[in-house]
Amino acid sequence: MTDAQNTQILTILEHVRKRPGMYFSDQVPAVANFLNGFVLACSLFEETLRDNSAYHRALVARGWEITSTGVWVQMAERGYDEAAIIQEMLIIYEATFAHAPDALAELHLHHERDSQGQN
């Protein structure tokens, strides 16, 4: 993914975060479906997003655990209301794309080491 493409994705996510009602209802499952679809579409062009390392870094940096239930379950358990969960999820995805170039560089380095037999 080029810097220009990454900037465009971040701009889109920022717009969505500022005006979520234009993109989905105010229910967490709708947001989760939107974001999953958005990431899936972007992952067709970017290997890093299929790797999930940028997303995992964003979760940890924001103080969330990596679980199979989804981060919104943790947020609800901590008392976040639907609006706060939606905002936090969008911030996490913005951070994911902001760090995707770093994760891509690490992924390529890892692949190079594997191809050279250096784990």
pTM of the model: 0.73
Scored b (16 or more CB within 10 A) or e, 43-67 reads eeebebbebebbbebbbeeeebeee
Structural domain boundaries, residue 41: 3-115
The answer to whether 10 touches 95, Cβ cutoff 8 Å, is: no
Over the stretch 61-87, which tens digit does the pLDDT of each residue have?
999 999 888 899 999 999 999 999 999
The angle subtended at Cα 25 by Cα 23 and Cα 28, nearest 5°, is: 105
Residue 87: predicted pLDDT: 92
Compute the average pLDDT of residues 81-108: 77
Residue 111: predicted pLDDT: 42
Average pLDDT, the chain: 79
pLDDT tier for residue 52 given thresholds of 50, 70 and 90: confident
Compute the average pLDDT of residues 86-110: 71
pLDDT over threshold 50, residue 108: no
Number of domains in the chain: 1
Closest CA to 22 of 109, 90, 80: 90
Residue 78: predicted pLDDT: 95
